[in-house]
Amino acid sequence: MDIDDDDNQPGNNVSGIVRGMVDVLSLVPLAESACKLADKLIECAENAKRHKKVCKQLSKRVKAANETIKANPPTSMFLEKQYKNYIAVLTETIEYVKEIKKPSSFSEKFKLHFLSFVNANDNMEYHRELISRIDQAIADLNLSIAIENSGKLDKNSGKLDENSGKLDKHSDKLDDIQASLNIMLLNKGVDVKYKKAIILDEKHFSDVNQSESRGSKRQIQKRIYKGVLVAQRKDMTKIESKEVERQAKILNELSKCRNIEQFYGVLLDKSDISIVTEWAEKGDLETYLRNTRFISWSQKVMFAKGISAALNFCHSSDIFHHDVRSSNVLLDENFSPKLSNFGLARFKTESSTSIRGQMKILRWTAPEKLVHDYIPYTKEMDVYSFGILMWEIAAQTLPYETITNETEVRAIVTSGEHPGAIPEDTPKKYADVMKSAWNQQHEFRPKIKAISTILNQLYNDYQYMPYENRPMSHEMNGNGSVNNHHNNNEHLMEITYIPATNTLPSWREALQLHDNKQYARAFPIFEEYAKSGDHVNEAKYLVGLYIFLSYDGIPKDELKASVYLRQSASASSPHTYTTKAQYWYSYVCLTGELYDKESGLEYLKRAADAGEKHALLFYGKILKKGEHDQPVDLKAAEDYFKRARALGHKDAARELRKLRSNSSSSTVAIRSNATNN
């Protein structure tokens, strides 16, 4: 049977077909009216004497919508409501453009009329409200056309599978439909290069034998897509089409990371819109933490490691999650964590999401955002949320569990109180990372890349640790008390240095101990001074230096050292060790495992410009070799070496000789080649 022969079969209801044709024909005048009104609006807008920028925006939008309408004549009554709404908005907009064509201000009659149309109090509000309403009307119409066309594609594709010989006959039609979809996507801000990854076909889906639904409203349905289990979220029709496309674009951007839920695309099925992602067989992390009594620290560190990797991938893509917590982490069949729920996520360049009225996320929200909701969201806020999530993983309970009132939650978070007691069996390195992440001062929180590096190290340590030495979280004995487990790895053991007397020695006495290389005695004194007082920033520098260089057996901890050094290096008031702190912080960033090129080069340049001799030599070496993505600049390198030599750096003269020797050798080689040629 030919593709075109369906309507000729004996069982067809002729009267039904005729009624359908009449209905469709009644839509044709609506489409024509919309195009004529759009042309009139474009003409008025292009001839406007005032507010030309607004008119240009309106004209551009309406022209694009006209192209879609003309390329897709109506074929069903599905579009009637959208056409009528679009025509109503066009009519009102034409009246508006006619008013702004006049050289004088708006007439009182128009103001009264327009205030019934939009909620606006001044001209700029008129503009914004109008453009917003035009955008929404066009978006609704375009999306409806796309859904209708998607149905055509499904129908025609199915028939083409049965009638491969008719492919040539219908290929042009399919191309036209795909082109209209492309126009819709472009009009609505979606890059057409993603079209194949975004638009899915219902024919590739099938239902599982035993249906399973999740979500507060059971809106997430387990299905099969091309042989793979997927989650189809079916409540997306309640969200504006632009929001659906924004989420799809973010998910598509992030799907390359194995610790972020895999995104398959958007399914358009009649009036429904669904986002399709991978199916998480083990559910969400929050449920697992609450319902599982014994979770090994190896697994807990694995959770934190995976989530930090996902967040690092987001930040490297300039995407901020805005809602990092255990309920938004899914677990696959192997219990691998997958960061999910990007409903609040935003690109760095987009406006922030307000947290007003969102009680459920306040426990994980950074204090600076709770104090000033209007400030832009930052990566540091995501890091804070991750710190609270680390505690949640450790304690297996809700942060601030006993607090239920929103005002109290805000007050307790902004006061700096911790979400709860840290379990006694928590590995020291894990606890250190967690506490640094939830630092009340955002500028002192480490970057997620540094956190991810530490957690990777900690996880690898657990892989080589004998099983019997791995601690369990909340492992209970017979009377219900906690058994504390100790592992033999030195990097997890805390070494505490206690001053010999109860009276803190003077700052001068502490420096004397330092000068005499009695570092073990000086260290706890500097730690006390680093907490507060007149010498707090000098003390932070020395504590950071001791930890990084592991003076007198003090455990080396790059993350902890970098926090102290950065705080000292970025102090608002200069101090004795400002440039030294800048140099050593840059050295940690550029040579350590917590590699941070941007911060390292920034602070190194600061120290070099201020005349710190070690910074001058270090920066000269970088320019000489072209390291850390810096261009090779031998002249500048020579200048830095000269300055370092003038300030007494013992290695500067040797670096100068090597530089000049290499330059001479290069010159001789060039001359030799020229002679031979």
Report pTM: 0.48
Strands 472-473 and 220-225: unpaired
Give residue 600's pLDDT: 93
CB 431 within 8 A of CB 471: no
Give residue 22's pLDDT: 36
CB 447 within 8 A of CB 596: yes
Verify that 160 and 253 share a domain, yes or no: no
Q: What is the CATH number of the domain that holds 469?
A: 1.10.510.10
Question: Cα(232)–Cα(359) distance, rounded to whole angstroms?
Answer: 27
Q: Which of 361, 231, 379 is nearest to 308 (CA)?
A: 379
Work out the pLDDT band at 478, boundaries 50, 70, 90.
Answer: very low
Q: Which of 308-322, 343-357, 423-437, 453-467 has the lowest mean pLDDT?
A: 343-357
Question: Cα(643)–Cα(620) distance, rounded to whole angstroms?
Answer: 10
Residue where one domain finishes, among candidates 473, 497, 515:
473
| CA 452-457-463 angle, 5° bins | 125
- Would you say residue 232 has pLDDT above 50? yes
Give residue 676's pLDDT: 52
Give residue 102's pLDDT: 62
Q: What is the CATH number of the domain that holds 210?
A: 3.30.200.20
In the numeric block, which tokens belong to residue 439? 């630092």
Verify that 250 and 296 share a domain, yes or no: no
Verify that 248 and 355 share a domain, yes or no: no
Work out the pLDDT band at 486, boundaries 50, 70, 90.
Answer: very low
In eight-state DSSP terms, residue 399 is: T
Instruction: Look up residue 171 and give its amino acid.
Output: S
Let me know if residue 195 belongs to a domain: no
Instruction: Look up residue 253 and give its amino acid.
Output: E
Verify that 372 and 518 share a domain, yes or no: no
CB 320 within 8 A of CB 314: yes
Q: If DSSP codes are grouped into helix, strand and coil, which group holds residue 330?
A: strand
Q: How far apart are the first and last CA of the chain?
A: 79
Verify that 174 and 248 share a domain, yes or no: no
Q: If DSSP codes are grouped into helix, strand and coil, which group holds residue 276?
A: strand
Work out the pLDDT band at 170, boundaries 50, 70, 90.
Answer: very low
Let me know if residue 492 belongs to a domain: no
Give residue 430's pLDDT: 95
Verify that 184 and 229 share a domain, yes or no: no
Instruction: Look up residue 493 and give its amino acid.
Output: M
- Would you say residue 43 has pLDDT above 90? no
Let me know if residue 335 belongs to a domain: yes
Let me know if residue 301 belongs to a domain: yes
- Would you say residue 357 has pLDDT above 70? no
- Would you say residue 90 has pLDDT above 90? no
Identify any residues that bridge with 321 across adjacent strands, giving them in sequence order.
none
> Between these two residues, 39 and 624, which has the higher pLDDT value?
624
Q: Which domain holds residue 52?
A: 3-7+14-188
In the numeric block, which tokens belong to residue 470? 């791995």
For the chain, what is the domain count?
4
Question: Cα(98)–Cα(107) distance, rounded to whole angstroms?
Answer: 11
Let me know if residue 480 belongs to a domain: no
Identify any residues that bridge with 411 across adjacent strands, giving them in sequence order.
none
Verify that 159 and 299 share a domain, yes or no: no
354-362 long-range contacts, CB within 8 A, separation 24+? 359/406, 359/409, 361/323, 361/325, 362/406, 362/409, 362/410, 362/413
For the segment 297-322, the average pLDDT, to the nearest whole number, is 92
CB 23 within 8 A of CB 15: no
Cα–Cα distances (Å) from 596 to 454, 588, 604, 636, in that order, read: 14, 9, 12, 23
Q: Which of 56-65, 121-130, 391-400 has the lowest mean pLDDT?
A: 121-130
> Between these two residues, 218 and 614, which has the higher pLDDT value?
614
Residue where one domain finishes, among candidates 161, 188, 215:
188
Let me know if residue 488 belongs to a domain: no
Instruction: Look up residue 76 and give its amino acid.
Output: S
Residue where one domain finishes, among candidates 278, 301, 329:
278
Identify any residues that bridge with 424 across adjacent strands, giving them in sequence order.
none
Give residue 168's pLDDT: 38
Give residue 641's pLDDT: 92
CB contact set of 198 (below 8 Å; sequence gap of 6+): 185, 190, 248, 252, 265, 266
Q: Which of 603, 598, 588, 626 is nearest to 453 (CA)?
A: 588
Verify that 339 and 354 share a domain, yes or no: yes
- Would you say residue 340 has pLDDT above 80? yes
pLDDT digits (tens, 9 = 90+) for 526-565: 998 998 888 999 999 999 999 999 888 888 888 889 989 9
Give residue 223's pLDDT: 86
Let me know if residue 491 belongs to a domain: no
Question: Cα(187)–Cα(164) distance, rounded to whole angstroms?
Answer: 33
Q: What is the CATH number of the domain that holds 639?
A: 1.25.40.10
Greatest mean pLDDT range, 164-168, 210-214, 235-239, 672-676: 210-214
Verify that 530 and 648 share a domain, yes or no: yes
Q: Which of 161-165, 313-317, 339-343, 587-591 has the lowest mean pLDDT?
A: 161-165
| Phi-psi sector, 512: left (phi>0), alpha (psi -120 to 50), beta | alpha
For the segment 460-476, the average pLDDT, to the nearest whole number, is 50
Work out the pLDDT band at 339, boundaries 50, 70, 90.
Answer: very high
Let me know if residue 489 belongs to a domain: no
Q: Which of 105-119, 296-310, 473-487, 625-639 has the lowest mean pLDDT?
A: 473-487
Question: Cα(150)–Cα(128) distance, rounded to whole angstroms?
Answer: 32
Question: Cα(177)–Cα(271) distance, rounded to whole angstroms?
Answer: 18
For the segment 40-69, the average pLDDT, to the nearest whole number, is 76
Give residue 386's pLDDT: 97
Give residue 434's pLDDT: 96
Residue with tokens 């990084």: 548
Verify that 642 and 528 share a domain, yes or no: yes
10 Å CB burial of residue 461 (0-12, 13-18, 19+) is middle
Q: Which of 244-258, 474-488, 595-609 has the lowest mean pLDDT?
A: 474-488
Verify that 528 and 417 share a domain, yes or no: no
For the segment 397-415, the average pLDDT, to the nearest whole number, is 87
Angle between helix 80-101 and helix 14-46 axes, rounded to 10 deg: 20
Mean pLDDT of the chain: 75
Verify that 243 and 300 share a domain, yes or no: no
Identify any residues that bridge with 319 across adjacent strands, giving them in sequence order.
347
- Would you say residue 642 has pLDDT above 90? yes
Give residue 466's pLDDT: 46
